[in-house]
Amino acid sequence: MRLAQYLALTGRCSRRAASRLIRNGRVSLGDRLAKHTDSIELIETPTGTQASLSVCVDGEPLPPIADKAYWIFNKAVGTDCRLLAEDTTSLIHLLPRQPRLYPVGRLDKDSRGLLLLTNDGELTQRLMHPSFAHHKRYHVRLDRPFDDDFVVKMAAGVSYKDVTTQPCQVTRLGQDSFEIVLTQGLNRQIRRMSKTLGHKVIDLKRVAIESLTLGDLPEGEMRPLTQAELDELWCDLA
């Protein structure tokens, strides 16, 4: 098994993030720094399946391969998705100690709504890699009413800084609110698109990732995915 795949299976991070850790010299294999080309053998131990050689990230030994866990969380405004123990607003303080979960993608601190939490590196890779172009649905409220031209321009793609966003679905919900479905994950994308067109976002809520929706989950609460939800999500990504 490739080393990056093993890191993902332990729940430490996605395969993409694992490759960065290896590239940055933060992973050791046995008594040396790991390389991208390294492979490992798996062995069964009383505590679970793990590598035959010691694998460490930043000097900390990795745990055995974890059982997969999938949770949905309704993030509130003010919660920071970065898992920083020293930050009192960090999501890490709301998560269980076990299993060790990570958000698939982020919502900025001023946004709210659906976060998928998991230790499944393969699912994270499928959802995060741009080539899979998965759908994320948001409800957005602006500082003032907008005209139909705003909807047309948002849907066609907006240029700001050195990027032009991909075409997307935009549906008016009210005089100052709309729904947008994105397949990109650019930093603060909706806020920057709206600002370029002369408006300020005052509320942004993610309501769905592919077939996965918040339903009636209260804000600030989390729950495990049902098997039906997980099966449908994998079907969406097939």
Domains and CATH numbers, the chain: 3-61 (3.10.290.10), 70-130+211-237 (3.30.70.580), 135-209 (3.30.70.1560)
Q: Is the pTM above the cut of 0.95?
A: no
68-78: string of b/e by CB count within 10 Å (b at 16+)? ebbbbbbbeee
Average pLDDT over residues 129-138: 80
191-217: string of b/e by CB count within 10 Å (b at 16+)? bbbbeebebebeebbbbbbbebebeee
Q: Please give the pLDDT value at position 206.
A: 96
Q: Please give the pLDDT value at position 211.
A: 92
Q: Please give the pLDDT value at position 172.
A: 98
Distance CA 164, CA 153 (A): 12
Q: What is the widest separation between alpha-carbon atoms in the chain?
A: 64
Q: Is the pLDDT of residue 70 over 90?
A: yes
Q: Which two tokens stand for residue 195?
A: 């600002």
Q: How confident is the model at residue 138 (pLDDT cuts 50, 70, 90)?
A: very high
Q: Please give the pLDDT value at position 50.
A: 86
* pLDDT, averaged across the chain: 90
SS3 string, 25-91, reads: CCEEECCEECCCCCECCEEEECCEEEECCCEEECCEECCCCCCCCEEEEEECCCCECCCCCCCCCEH
Average pLDDT over residues 30-45: 89
SS3 of residue 145 by DSSP: coil
Q: Please give the pLDDT value at position 9.
A: 80
Q: Are 175 and 187 in contact (CB under 8 A)?
A: no
Q: Is the pLDDT of residue 132 over 70?
A: no
Q: Please give the pLDDT value at position 170.
A: 97
| Residues noted as catalytic | 108
Percent residues over pLDDT 70 in the chain: 98
Q: Is the pLDDT of residue 16 over 90?
A: no
Q: How confident is the model at residue 97 (pLDDT cuts 50, 70, 90)?
A: confident
- Of residues 17 and 116, more confidently modeled: 116
Q: Please give the pLDDT value at position 130.
A: 65
Among 131, 134, 83, 139, CA closest to 113: 139
Q: Is the pLDDT of residue 131 over 80?
A: no
Q: Are 133 and 147 in contact (CB under 8 A)?
A: no
Average pLDDT over residues 19-26: 93
**Residue positions counted in the chain:** 238
- Burial grade of 27 (CB within 10 A; 0-12, 13-18, 19 or more): buried
Average pLDDT over residues 103-124: 90
Bond from prior residue into 46 cis (ω within 30 degrees of 0): no
